[in-house]
Structure 1
């Protein structure tokens, strides 16, 4: 009797297997059901596999919610689909969608902060790329000091987070607020500084991290070519040592709020704590976000007798020891430009 039932059991098992295959691979095909091309879907914390299946069905990404749930269950992934924001391409199969959600392959947008950018420029770039409001970003940066080295009581500092936005490429969630974006950028700065052991190196040089970044920001903006960074840092440090104003055009550009092709004598007389022509020492705070190479250049400046430098047409600088030599260099560069 049992031997007679074996063929029937095998046939029944085969039918079940074929049924499961049909359910997964035919009802799991969403090509005809899907509308459009790309969709952004937010899976919220606490959503069940059934909730997710229903959401995807409502968005016309999954034809049969039951088939989606079975796909996840048979693969042992029910309850393991991660929360987050995802990009789903219309027409993906249930299997492909389950792969994306189970691996946490969340959707993000690339955003790059160039070396030498300041808070205002970063906020404007965020707004231009549709990732935030420039003014809200500025307000978030005004008093944001999550790390002790960022804190300052100087009332002249415009943005306390200035200089501590690490210049690199970020992967941002489109739903991030301006505060969240700023927090990510500052956390990245802190992580990179610790990774390169910068705070300890600064202490060995008797420099606070804030002062180091302050100096490096000017070096970053002055040096078009990285090989000149350590020499420019050496000039600035020598001026600081002898209590001579730094006289960096970069600080004038910062207080003006816009890039001028050439800083005038009148510009250098503007009354502002950021005017390093009129005020000795470092400006109240950093004026931009320096890259790692500029920071390291300030930790390892070139020992030099130079006190002056002037930019040539190609971005390189002529370095001189005396004011007379400096004026001669300016005259020679103007002559070369007029040829």
Structure 2
């Protein structure tokens, strides 16, 4: 018996439709497998840091991610990349460093890179660090070399920061103005200039308004304020003494007495004194523009990056008739009005320290 034409047509159409349906099901089944997270119940998820360089192609990225175990199939990656490029023709994979998890699907990791969700790095610059210490820190952390950071600081274009004081050629231009704080930065493509800009911006937002609000209280220029603030920062170990120390230096400046600040000598000659190895007479008497034992007034630039509390103390020095102070080795100081009192305090502190050493010597 012959089938009617319409039934032949329906049968003819049903065969390819069924084939397409079977093919679609197979494709979906394949995609669900290859786009799934690589981690299995028998394995432990890992977070892998992966850097994409400028100019990397989707194919290169896919092959590398497959070899790292972040995705199951570079072929599936290529398909997803083609699809997203059609959906978002203005988009692209973004250069940078990413934290990609083997517990995430291909699409989730791909989206992260497509949308530029780069990993964040943090760095902390303590109050009282100078630019050389910062440079060494960045090199130690693997951000860039100390030489690169110092060179970038010297050539940095300051046009966006017109408030920065003009510094005599030969002295560090940005010393004191790279604000000490904890920062978050994008990983992978970080440049010294990016860090410098972020730190100057932080000074502009945190420290500069303090001066602008209270500069009527002082005769100090912005440069002098930051310079004196940096010395207060390096001298004050105990927060409660900041205003006292600022007051001593203010009194000495008014009377044209050299500040005689140990940290300025340490900065000048790149040395660090300790309780057992204090500065020598020869060191404090060696001529140098930053040596405030032999030069009256302030040094040519700040000697470190002061925090906002030391800067505030410099604008609000405690009014006393103290002209001297000496460290007690516990972070605090003895403050004196006359040289005689100061020398007596030095002797008393020295004798006490020597007495504390004797039991150790006997025990040994």
TM-score class, shorter-chain normalisation, is 0.7 to 0.9
Partner of 2:14: none
Partner of 2:359: none
Unaligned runs of 5+ in 1: 5-10
Partner of 2:145: 133
Q: Is the 8 A contact 2:125 2:182 kept in 1?
A: yes
Aligned mates of 1:207, 1:166 — CA distance in 2: 20
Per-residue CA deviations over 1:87-137 (Å, capped at 9, x if unaligned) read 324564213303423553212332221111111111111112222111222
Give, in angstroms, the shift of residue 203 of structure 1: 2.9
Partner of 1:247: 260
Give, in angstroms, the shift of residue 41 of structure 1: 2.8
Give, in angstroms, the shift of residue 202 of structure 1: 4.9
Mean alpha-carbon deviation: is it higher for 145-154 or for 265-274?
145-154
Work out which of the residue numbers 246, 250, 259 in structure 1 matches 2:272.
259
Aligned mates of 1:70, 1:283 — CA distance in 2: 64
Aligned CA distance change for structure 1 residues 306 and 328 (closer, same or farther; 3 Å): same
Aligned CA distance change for structure 1 residues 199 and 42 (closer, same or farther; 3 Å): farther
Q: TM-score, normalised by structure 2?
A: 0.77
Give, in angstroms, the shift of residue 149 of structure 1: 3.7
Work out which of the residue numbers 48, 52, 55 in structure 2 matches 1:42.
52
Aligned length: 325
Per-residue CA deviations over 1:202-252 (Å, capped at 9, x if unaligned) read 532343222111111111110111111111111111111121111110100
Aligned CA distance change for structure 1 residues 337 and 62 (closer, same or farther; 3 Å): same
Q: Is the 8 A contact 1:143 1:160 kept in 2?
A: no
Alignment of 1:5-154 (within 5 A): 22-29=29-36, 31=38, 38-42=48-52, 44=54, 51-52=57-58, 55-59=61-65, 60=67, 61-65=70-74, 67-68=76-77, 79=91, 82-90=94-102, 92-101=104-113, 104-142=116-154, 144=156, 146=158, 147-154=161-168
Partner of 1:176: 190
Alignment of 1:206-285 (within 5 A): 206-261=219-274, 262-285=278-301
Work out which of the residue numbers 147, 170, 176 in structure 2 matches 1:163.
176
Aligned CA distance change for structure 1 residues 227 and 23 (closer, same or farther; 3 Å): farther
Aligned mates of 2:180, 2:338 — CA distance in 1: 35
Aligned mates of 1:177, 1:258 — CA distance in 2: 29
Aligned mates of 1:275, 1:218 — CA distance in 2: 12
Q: Is the 8 A contact 1:217 1:289 kept in 2?
A: yes
Work out which of the residue numbers 272, 290, 294 in structure 1 matches 2:310.
294
Aligned mates of 2:188, 2:107 — CA distance in 1: 26
RMSD across aligned positions (CA): 3.4
Q: Is the 8 A contact 1:116 1:221 kept in 2?
A: yes
